[in-house]
Structure 1
């Protein structure tokens, strides 16, 4: 074996070992299920932070670490995704927090393209809610393993067996509880580990700002302490065993079953058990398929894909940051990579790891890690960067927008700032920007999945780009992809307008509503109109 071959083999072995230590996952849920609080509680239990904040801060408690944007802190909701890197017991956890609000589901979809596992968060009182169902459909389409965490067990809610039945009946995912609550929802006493039989009694800490106190009791002590609540829990556990609701690694990794845990993130009950499940059960990074559906093994030379763009996280520098999921190889700061879309070199002098709003320079990274490339003006969402032999990963699709406004600068004297801001927000994917020769560049059409996205645009245009805008709604609710041959004919029809998406030049036809769309399809079957993505799957009429 030559010296070069031996060195390559050593580096590939190093990369494979490092990849095996990584767990890259996202937390998904319906709004108000406690997603950001759970994210914060996981960081607390992994000792990445000393005390937890709450989504709606109380007293002197700050907002969640992952919510860094001013609008998020003001409104108490997550409207951008955030990357948190946590070192825990020899493992590297890359936790990608996602927006909970349905209006920002496209950002969540991008994040799900960059993770290997999802934590599906359920409210103990509400169970599966609409946004949870939509996000699970994305996971199912990607065959992504899902761990379920039933949150808010310290508040009144439903029966645990009822929740499990709902999961199986509504989404076809077989639940396999890893632990079981003692005490009904609202009277949370502790958790029984179904593998060991140990009972962990939980004690609330003041405000839930620090880890909950845990005491392990044997069965006799537990029965003496908890009485009827313990007896009821044991009967339910026996029923689970009779039903064969036991964890199965093969079906979990295939996306057919889901390990289930119970807890209360705001009080830090059961979060430690969830953290252990992530470390022990969530899959490590594996080979990713390129555009030609060839696998790119993790130990091969560096490759990565941009899944998010974000500007102005640092108000002092007004920078533009590209978040890249490392797919293969060892990344070293200063590497000159190749931009697959253009074939041009891309220098990586300024590379950072991100913990919410806090950033630190990162020198090396491995498959599963998320790196932030600073001042990445040449990159956009979906771009591939690589070292060595060329590789390009499939693009990350855009969602079908349902809301449209015409944007204009309030102050004509700030048109340059207006242009710069609109272009920036388009590159980040905050909204889709559509243009046409008829409307002109001074009046682009902004397209969004939900109207709250326009509030973000207004806020950022005023605060970051100093160019307040007017946003006049358009009477369209449906978008379809079309081609150059059909575009002029569609544009001439009543209730339809053809525009070009600035980011990729693709032609979209906007139609007033689905009724009008059906009429056009009936009367003009020869015209090309193709559905776009909706919720991670092809939109249904």
Structure 2
């Protein structure tokens, strides 16, 4: 994701200890993620605040406190192992905090990869209405791309170019019947989330691509369906359509249900806050870390309003006013100093 969004100039592999977001020496040595790491990236004019979280159960608290402040989650699954015990735990965290999800079946290039088995496990073990919006073209060593069930096109990657380019082609002849079957299933589920589209569909009118995307988005945001995508991040195939799906189907900060952002009043009652830069400030400090160069970093998610350096804010936990010093955007363990964080932003306060 960081490579294709232009955030980094090279692709670092986890197993080589070169992944950008795994910056700790222990992470690089073991080839695993231990601590959550934040960054910001842009794709097609949209800004993403990303948090990369660990997958191992020993570091479950890192996942829990990160998921709490997110508007959407990409739930990654191993195409060979399917839904693992920690997958169930992390899925539960997202459900508890009401976070919409996209499901990404990764490692389609590995021996034993089975996309449909993985989707079936999501339905059985997670009790999720998992609906494929893509199908893999080939698998294991022969995995070369995917079929987009929304636009009914095939995307075939040019492997020698680090996945930076691909060809949009007609669906392979041997997959047309399968694609039609899963497209029909997708439409049957998606149209339920828009009455007008549903009525037109019942009258024999197939939904347009725009209408189908609108229906999928509504189902995703309300967590009544979970779109399933596929790819091989190691082989650099499927990442760009995943980013497109984040834009198309996951909510932006101003689409959060109002009741999810509340402020406690002195009388103990709660007031629902409106989302916007012009509203009073409401932010949540969700992680404290120590940096050897700048000291204490307090990671915050801004829900509404603006945090500006040099201004005073009310600390609801300590029941006192505090002055904001320096503000930084994080890129793993690197820092970019900024003067403010707006609604939807994730950053860190120094001191």
Write the distance in 2 (CA, Å) between the matches of 1:193 and 1:156. Answer: 23
Are 1:329 and 2:305 counterparts?
yes
Given the alignment, which residue of 168, 181, 184 partners 1:239? 181
CA contact 2:68–2:94 (8 Å) conserved in 1: no
Offset from partner CA, 1:291-344 (integer Å, 9 cap, x none):
4443221122112111001012xx344x11000000111222222111112332
Of 23, 46, 52, the residue aligned with 2:11 is 52
> In the superposition, relative to structure 1, how do residues 100 and 298 fare at CA in structure 2: closer, same or farther (>3 Å)?
same
Q: Which runs of 4+ in 1 moved over 4 A?
A: none
Q: Deviations over 1:162-193 (max 9, x none)?
A: 22222112212112222211113442021111
Cα distance in 1 for residues equivalent to 2:150 and 2:216: 13
Q: In structure 2, do the counterparts of structure 1 residues 239 and 158 end up closer, same or farther at CA, with 3 Å as the change threshold?
A: farther
1:3-53 CA-to-partner distances (Å, cap 9, x unmatched) read xxxxxxxxxxxxxxxxxxxxxxxxxxxxxxxxxxxxxxx111111111110
1:284-323 matches, within 5 Å, as 284-285=252-253, 286=256, 287=258, 288-291=261-264, 292-299=269-276, 300-312=279-291, 315-317=292-294, 319-323=295-299
Q: CA offset at residue 271 of structure 1?
A: 0.3
Deviations 1:459-486 (A, max 9, x none): xxxxxxxxxxxxxxxxxxxxxxxxxxxx
Following the alignment from structure 1 to structure 2, what is the Cα–Cα distance between the partners of residues 195 and 46? 23
Residue aligning to 1:424: none
1:125–1:157 Cα contact (<8 Å) kept: yes
- What's 2:325 paired with? 349
1:83 pairs, out of 38, 63, 72, with 38
Aligned counterpart in structure 1 of residue 165 of structure 2, from 213, 237, 255: 213
> When the two structures are superposed, what TM-score results if normalisation uses the length of structure 1?
0.56
Runs of 5+ unmatched residues, structure 2 = 191-214
Out of 193, 201, 218, which is 1:250 matched to?
218
Q: Distance in 2 between matches of 1:293 and 1:161?
A: 45
Matched residue of 2:167: which SS?
strand
Between stretches 281-290 and 87-96, larger displacement belongs to 281-290
The match for 2:84 is 129
Taking structure 2 as the reference length, the TM-score comes to 0.84
Give RMSD over aligned pairs: 1.8
Bigger Cα Rg:
1
Gaps of 5+ in 1: 1-41, 224-229, 376-541
Aligned residue pair count: 314
Aligned to 1:202, which of 123, 140, 157? 157
Displacement of 1:242 after TM fit?
4.0
Instruction: Find 2:248's aligned residue among 280, 291, 297.
Output: 280
Of 329, 339, 345, 2:315 maps to 339
What's the secondary structure of 2:81's corresponding residue?
coil
Kindly indicate whether the alpha-carbon contact (under 8 Å) linking 1:65 and 1:357 is maintained by their aligned counterparts in 2.
no
Distance 1:293 1:154, change over 3 A: farther
Query: Does the 8 A contact of 1:190 with 1:202 survive in 2?
Result: yes
Partner residue of 2:239 out of 224, 249, 271 = 271
Distance 1:86 1:258, change over 3 A: same
